[in-house]
Structure 1
Amino acid sequence: MWSTLPALLCLGLYLSLRVGTQNQTLSKPLIWANPSFMVPNGASVSIWCQGTHGAVDYQLHFNGLPFTLAKREPPRLGNKVKFSIQPMTSYMAGQYTCFYRTGGLLSEPSDPLDLVITGMYDTPTLSVHPGPPVLLGENVTFSCHLETATTTFFLRKEGLASRPWRRVGNTRAEFPMGPVTTAHKGTYRCFGSYNEHIWSFPSEPVTLLDTGDVGVTDLASPGQPSSPDNGEPHSATTRKGLQKDLASWDHTAENLFRMGLGLLVLVALACLLTHHWLLRKKTMTRALSMASSQEHRRRFRRQGAPDE
């Protein structure tokens, strides 16, 4: 029985360490830009990073490396921090991620935030055919033209938080949309791009109207969603925050499970040690009893020998 105790102890420690290793990963934080992920050249922008309550430190990375040029303000409510970039330059346009630290553990990186600088180089021209007054159900095509050769064009509807439509082209790109619905009504601008994060000046706005002059609804834009354009996450980000809170709750539950497992291992070891001690005590008592009985017989024999 005694030989099984080290094996059980090692098993308990292995399980405890394995559960503890699973708890080493913290849920990833949220990241967004305010007022927008598109920043005019020379303007200022704030990058927000939101972790869990109790986070002791936040880090901002730019293109995979720590970024120290942004001014960091103290965390608000203990779960988010603001990094300010003033002024915005082409050298600061790129992909950002953030981390937070809690209890000596570093979180997973946030989803990437692509920060774009606008107002570089030339200004494109945007047109729409037919229109801009169109009939519902018609097929509409936006055309973006830039005299200077570029690589990519973007078309953005004002008021949407999602990323613009993207097309590849040298001096012109077309964005077909149709059939037109009330969701397409609104104001559009286009940009020429010299890489994914350096864009031209915006074009003059083109407003798409329908002849019925009906109300407008939000248009679900294809492409990669961007960060919200305000100081707080939008509804999708709120759902992510709820998932993060649930992950934090799971993390606490795993810690409780780990503590309970360790307690069970200690109780089991205590029971085995007690059982072993009782067996040894019983064995020693039996041995002492047998020795006492043998001694009693020897004394009896010695006392009876003279009488014979």
Structure 2
Amino acid sequence: MLSTLAALLGLCLCQRISAQKQTLSKPIIWAKPGSVIPKGMAVIIWCEGTFGAVEYQLHFDGLLSTFERPTPPGITNKVKFAIRLMTRHSAGQYRCFYREGELWSEPSDPLDLVVTGMYDTPTLSVHPGSKVIPGENVTFHCHLETGTSTFFLLKEGRLSSPQRRNGKFQAEFPMGPVTTAHSGTYRCFGSYNDFMWSFPSKTVVLLVTGDVGDTNLVPTGQPSSDAWEPSLFTTEVVGFQEGRAIWDHRADTLLRVGLIFLVLVALVCLLAEDWLRGKTTEETANGASNQECRVRFRTQRALDKGRRDAVAIGKAEL
């Protein structure tokens, strides 16, 4: 008996500990229009959880920044946190959480929000030139006079992480052998910390012409894993998120339209029912009135006939 009771107590304790440790799957976080924002511009941070979520929290540099509740609940699975003006104080690392009932989710992947337009403007050049043939090696040079030793090179429209290099007033970004996949528009930035960058340089267009080659190749000049931030931009899967956001928006719109249609149908049915009920009542009243008139008419005829008969009998007796 005691052993059975001890086993039951142990099972209850294990279930309680398991319930306390239970967490929900992590949400998805991303920024629109992107995670590299010029100073003074607006940005929206999206957090996507589940349709059962009742609250979302946004944490900035490890501390609670703000929270939002979906309105109306159960209709959407994401919320947005708006930053009206991007400044050095709003640049940093963000994560979000969501809650269902008493359970909280795991934290999202980190979103590194970078502000640009701080201080000076670097210059960018490419050697041996901006027009090369497949198989050549090229090197981008980013130069900034003011005191910084960290530089970033970005390719416009690129979904992967930017390249990061260190150097005193200048950094080199080698690429090659290049293919047509390297063609595109590039900018560079000087960095004063991981989240505050300079103004962007003027764009440099690299054009790889000639034989197409293997376009599946990626630049071999990517920095080593210890030379760049692996978390930077890893949450900005723009194409996928935009497609899903558009689909979710359309789905929400269709759901709202469907609910409005059902409400209208219900109102029409109620109005039709009231009209039919009123018409039935009116017809019943009219029928009753007609019946009463017929009864009165017959009664009056019988009375008149009785009077005439009485008069006729009286005359006959005389």
Q: TM-score scaled to structure 1, two decimals? A: 0.68
1:36 partner amino acid: G
Distance 1:227 1:5, change over 3 A: closer
Corresponding residue for residue 171 of structure 2: 173
Across the two proteins, how many residue pairs are aligned to each other? 234
Corresponding residue for residue 284 of structure 1: none
Cα distance between partner residues in 2 of 1:10 and 1:71: 40
Deviations 1:187-226 (A, max 9, x none): 1000000000000111111001123285996875756343
Q: Residue 88 of structure 1 contacts residue 117 of structure 1 at CA under 8 Å; is this kept in 2?
A: yes
1:90 partner amino acid: R
Choose from 37, 50, 53 the match for 2:51.
Answer: 53
Corresponding residue for residue 235 of structure 2: 227
Report deviation, 1:33: 0.6
Cα distance between partner residues in 1 of 2:12 and 2:110: 38
Cα distance between partner residues in 2 of 1:27 and 1:159: 30
Cα distance between partner residues in 2 of 1:206 and 1:110: 35
Corresponding residue for residue 197 of structure 1: 195
Q: Residue 51 of structure 2 contacts residue 77 of structure 2 at CA under 8 Å; is this kept in 1?
A: yes
Q: Residue 179 of structure 2 contacts residue 212 of structure 2 at CA under 8 Å; is this kept in 1?
A: no
Distance 1:56 1:158, change over 3 A: same
Choose from 93, 109, 119 the match for 1:121.
Answer: 119
Greater Cα shift, 191-200 or 71-80: 71-80
Distance 1:91 1:212, change over 3 A: same
Report deviation, 1:43: 0.2
Corresponding residue for residue 138 of structure 1: 136
* Structural RMSD (CA): 2.9
The aligned runs of 1:12-161 (5 Å cut-off) are 12-22=11-21, 24-68=22-66, 74=71, 77-161=75-159
1:212 aligns with 2:237: no
Where in structure 2 are there 5+ consecutive unaligned residues?
A: 223-227, 246-318
Cα distance between partner residues in 2 of 1:41 and 1:58: 26
Report deviation, 1:4: 3.9
Cα distance between partner residues in 1 of 2:235 and 2:158: 11
Distance 1:229 1:8, change over 3 A: closer
Distance 1:228 1:215, change over 3 A: farther
SS at match of 2:7: helix
Report deviation, 1:171: 0.6
2:163 partner amino acid: W
Q: Residue 116 of structure 1 contacts residue 198 of structure 1 at CA under 8 Å; is this kept in 2?
A: yes
Cα distance between partner residues in 2 of 1:58 and 1:231: 24
Report deviation, 1:63: 0.5
Corresponding residue for residue 263 of structure 1: none
Distance 1:228 1:76, change over 3 A: farther
SS at match of 1:67: strand
Cα distance between partner residues in 1 of 2:70 and 2:121: 36
Distance 1:205 1:217, change over 3 A: farther
Query: Aligned residues: percent identity?
Result: 59
Report deviation, 1:170: 2.4
Q: Residue 228 of structure 1 contacts residue 234 of structure 1 at CA under 8 Å; is this kept in 2?
A: no
SS at match of 1:91: coil
The structure whose Rg is larger is: 2
Q: TM-score scaled to structure 2, two decimals? A: 0.66
Deviations 1:148-188 (A, max 9, x none): 12121000000012221000122100000011111101110
Cα distance between partner residues in 1 of 2:216 and 2:83: 31
Q: Residue 109 of structure 2 contacts residue 235 of structure 2 at CA under 8 Å; is this kept in 1?
A: no
